[in-house]
């Protein structure tokens, strides 16, 4: 068996370049992404996959809202589970052969401070009047540059609860898709049972945990930029190539990586390497099989 690689596919692997997310756009984007993944599989790597789900959850939330008077809206954790199934199906079709998707729950702490201060924007932009109406229904909304968006908690992933199922399928020879969208967030209740919560788990942080759980040697975070950059968007951007975890940690602490986008990727890379992973790579999808490109973090 070749080196085990966990690949986390970002939003651009699931929508058209302009962000369009029609079924046809999603299928085409997944097929293009899997062509890149296949290069690694054909090179003998033992590939495990995870993926984001932002635009897809946004679509489901809007459908819920528009149909609310006819069909009861479903909670956010259900939307997460639904997107794991649909995106997983697209990925399995594109992979062909023995592939399996594990509907995956991610354990979070009900006392995570993120629940007190929800900051992760989800879904589309709305007018202030609409936002105020949803606030009355108990949701949190915030004003951004382009309008109002719902915000939810993004608690720390503690454990990928269904990683054992993924491991068993990997051992049986399946190419596995798991922890899509960061996994369905669940909390453990007083009686020991699990319950879904209105939250989203960062897919990159969940990917780092999944990679550890399935004993991957390499974590590849496939996104839409070839490197993490120091001075991003400034006059003197400096792409980061090979770097030690210690050096990257210093840059991360200095605030070079934006929260909600590159920040969690860098954090995930650092956690994976600190947890014993051999290498974490942050690069664009078209470069995942190219050893000469990308931000490559090793201990």
Residues between 109 and 128 that touch ligand ADP (CB under 6 A): none
Residue of 58, 59, 80, 203 with catalytic role: 203
Of 3, 261, 287, 298, which one interacts with ligand ADP (CB under 6 A)? Answer: 261
Catalytic annotation present for 64: no
Residues between 1 and 40 that touch ligand ADP (CB under 6 A): 10-11
* CB contact set of 170 (below 8 Å; sequence gap of 6+): 4, 46, 48, 176, 214
Task: Output the CA torsion sign for 134, 136, 138, 139.
Answer: positive
The three-state secondary structure class of 58 is: helix
Of 34, 200, 213, 225, which one interacts with ligand ADP (CB under 6 A)? Answer: 225
User: What is the C-alpha to C-alpha distance for residues 7 and 223, in angstroms, rounded to an integer?
Assistant: 10
The three-state secondary structure class of 283 is: strand
Nearest to 155 by CA among 187, 188, 194, 113: 113
Q: Of 36-44, 122-130, 193-201, 255-263, which segment contacts ligand ADP by CB under 6 A? A: 255-263
Q: Of 20-28, 38-46, 165-173, 222-230, which segment contacts ligand ADP by CB under 6 A? A: 222-230
Q: At closest approach, how far in Å is the CB of 70 from ligand ADP?
A: 32
Residues between 70 and 99 that touch ligand ADP (CB under 6 A): none
User: What is the C-alpha to C-alpha distance for residues 184 and 161, in angstroms, rounded to an integer?
Assistant: 10
H-run or E-run covering 292: none
Catalytic residues: 11-12, 120, 203, 265
Residues that bind ligand ADP (CB under 6 A): 10-11, 52, 223-225, 228-229, 232, 256-258, 261-262
């Amino acid at each position: 068996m070749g080196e085990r690689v966990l690949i986390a596919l970002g939003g651009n692997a699931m929508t058209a370049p302009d962000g369009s997310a029609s079924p046809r756009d999603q299928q085409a984007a997944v097929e293009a992404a899997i062509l890149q993944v296949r290069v690694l599989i054909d090179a003998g790597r033992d590939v495990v996959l995870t993926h984001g789900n932002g635009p897809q959850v946004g679509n489901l939330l809007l459908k819920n809202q528009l149909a609310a008077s006819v069909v009861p809206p479903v909670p956010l954790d259900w939307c997460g589970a639904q997107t794991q199934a649909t995106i997983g199906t697209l990925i399995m079709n594109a992979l062909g052969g023995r592939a399996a998707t594990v509907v995956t729950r991610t354990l979070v702490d009900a006392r995570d401070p993120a629940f007190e201060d929800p900051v992760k924007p989800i879904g589309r932009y709305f007018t202030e009047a609409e936002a105020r109406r949803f606030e009355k229904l108990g949701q949190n909304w915030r004003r951004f540059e382009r309008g109002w968006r719902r915000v939810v908690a993004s608690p720390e992933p503690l454990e990928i609860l269904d990683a054992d199922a993924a491991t068993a399928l990997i051992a049986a020879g399946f190419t596995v898709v798991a922890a899509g969208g960061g996994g369905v967030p669940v909390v453990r209740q007083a009686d020991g049972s699990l319950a879904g919560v209105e939250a989203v788990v960062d897919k990159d942080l969940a990917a780092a945990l999944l990679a550890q759980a399935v004993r991957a040697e390499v974590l590849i975070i496939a996104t839409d930029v070839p490197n993490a950059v120091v001075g991003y968007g400034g006059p003197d951007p400096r792409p980061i190539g090979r770097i030690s975890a210690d050096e990257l940690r210093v840059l991360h602490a200095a605030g070079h990586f934006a929260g909600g986008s590159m920040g969690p990727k860098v954090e995930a890379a650092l956690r994976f390497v600190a947890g014993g992973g051999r290498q974490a790579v942050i690069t664009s999808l078209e470069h995942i099989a190219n050893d000469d490109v990308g931000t490559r973090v090793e201990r």
